[in-house]
Every structure is written in structure tokens, then in C-alpha cells.
Structure 1
Amino acid sequence: MIASRFTGTAQPYANKLTEYECGFPAFEDSRSQFDVRFYLVAILFIIFDLEAAFLFPWAVTVFDLGWIAWIAMMIFLVELAVGLAYAWKKGALEWE
């Protein structure tokens, strides 16, 4: 890091300070308030990411586990579908 500091060139472009990813300015007060929708989307992402984490190993071993494991996974998927329908109905997926 020290060698690159001395051998590199500083390129101060205005584009380096523009907004990226979330749309907020890069250098702003760190205690600014975020919209609650960011947290809601993050929680929904975690829930459905965990679904994939449970679904992939089950799909690999479904033939070895038998009908009880298949029924248990279908109940799990129905519960997640009901949760998704509820979030959709409440407008959790709307971004206005």
C-alpha cells in the first residue's frame, strides 16, 4: 500500500463523489435517516434467501428422504408463499 501510494497517480474526478448503489450522496452525515423500506426489503431478501438455503440441499436428497420430507418441504413452501402474498397485499413490495 505504501508503494502504490508513492507510485500511483491521484485522479480526482467528480464522478468518484457521485451517488452509487442506494442513490444517496457518498459523503454525508453518517446519522442521516434511511427510509424504512430499505430495511423491509432487506428482511424480505433474508427470508427468501434462507428459503433457497433450505431448498437446495432438500432438492439434492429428496429421493433418499421419502414422502414425509417431500410433504414437509411443501408445507414450508406454502408457508413462504402465504408470507409473500401477505407482504404483497400489505404493499411491502411497492416502491413509490
Structure 2
Amino acid sequence: MLFGLAVLFAAGSFIASGLLAPRNPTNAKRAAYECGIVPTKETPERFPVKFFLVAMIFIVFDIEIIFFYPYALAYGSLGVFGLVMIMVFTFAVFESFVYLISNGALEWGPLKQVARPSGAVSPERTAESTIRRVGLENRPIAEETAA
């Protein structure tokens, strides 16, 4: 009976909303609201894959911490065997983290091409290549004005 009452209330709420809602939609009301900032791009934009990669890395380490909880509870009764097993587990997860860092999984920003003395070009991250100076695009840099 309580479930039926909940379904009846939900259906009644939807029907009342459809009947009583004002019907004067405009383009401004249909547009996506971005915290008062005028939208500069179309709304459906894809997120870079790096966001999902960082989320998956977070989940892996979060689960590792969850596995530490039962070990902490049974620490006294496990002895040396438990310590060795948790160290092996921690090493395996830490090794995967080192692998991710060595492959550049957590690297952000554009790469700046820097010429080496041998003439080869290699990507290097610098403050000039990764920091966007907002509002300074058409202004001279301080070093140029001093010269």
C-alpha cells in the first residue's frame, strides 16, 4: 500500500508539473547556463581522455587503501606473513604508479619543442609552454620593453 502511494504521488507530481508550468520558453531560457559567463563554445564538448585516466588511477589507489583496512584490523594475528603479503601488494600497486608516471600519464599541458645541441628536437615542458598568460597576448613582455 505504501509503494502504491509513492507511485501515485510521483505520477501526480509529474502531471501537476506539466499542467501548471508556464509555457513561454525563449532561446535565453533554453540556453545552457554557465555561471553567468557568456558561453564561448558549443555545450556538448568532449572531455580529454586524461580526465578519465586520472579518475581510474584514483579508483585504483582508493581500492588499495580499502584493502589496507582489513590488514590493519588483523595486524596482530597475521604476524610476519601478513606484513610480507601487504608489502608485496603495496609494491605491486606502487610499481604500477611508477609505470604510469614514466609513461607520462599525469603530464598535462602542451609540449614545447626544444632544439638540442645535436640538432635533434625533443619535447620539454616549461612555464612558457604550459602557462597561458590571459590578457597579455598583445602586450610586450617586460624583457622586450627594457631593451
Structure 2 length-normalised TM: 0.45
Residue number in structure 1 paired with 2:46: 33
Residue 73 of structure 2 aligns to which amino acid in structure 1?
Answer: V
Q: Which has the larger radius of gyration?
A: 2
Aligned length: 78
How far apart, in 2, do the equivalents of 1:74 and 1:65 lie? 13
Which of these residues, 62, 66, 81, is aligned with residue 68 of structure 1?
81
> Structure 1 residue 94: deviation in Å?
1.4
Structure 1 length-normalised TM: 0.67
Identity %: 32
The structure with the largest helix share of the pair is 1
User: Where in structure 2 are the equivalents of 1:8-87 lying within 5 Å?
Assistant: 17-18=34-35, 28-29=43-44, 32-87=45-100
RMSD over aligned CA atoms reads 2.7
Gaps of 5+ in 1: 3-15, 20-24
Greater relative CO (CA pairs within 8 A, separation 6+): 1
The structure with the largest strand share of the pair is 2
Q: Where in structure 1 do 4 or more consecutive aligned residues deviate above 3 Å?
A: none
Residue number in structure 2 paired with 1:88: 101
After superposition, the C-alpha distances for 1:39-80 in whole angstroms (9 at most, x for unaligned) are 100110010000000012212221112221111110000101
> Structure 1 residue 36: deviation in Å?
0.6
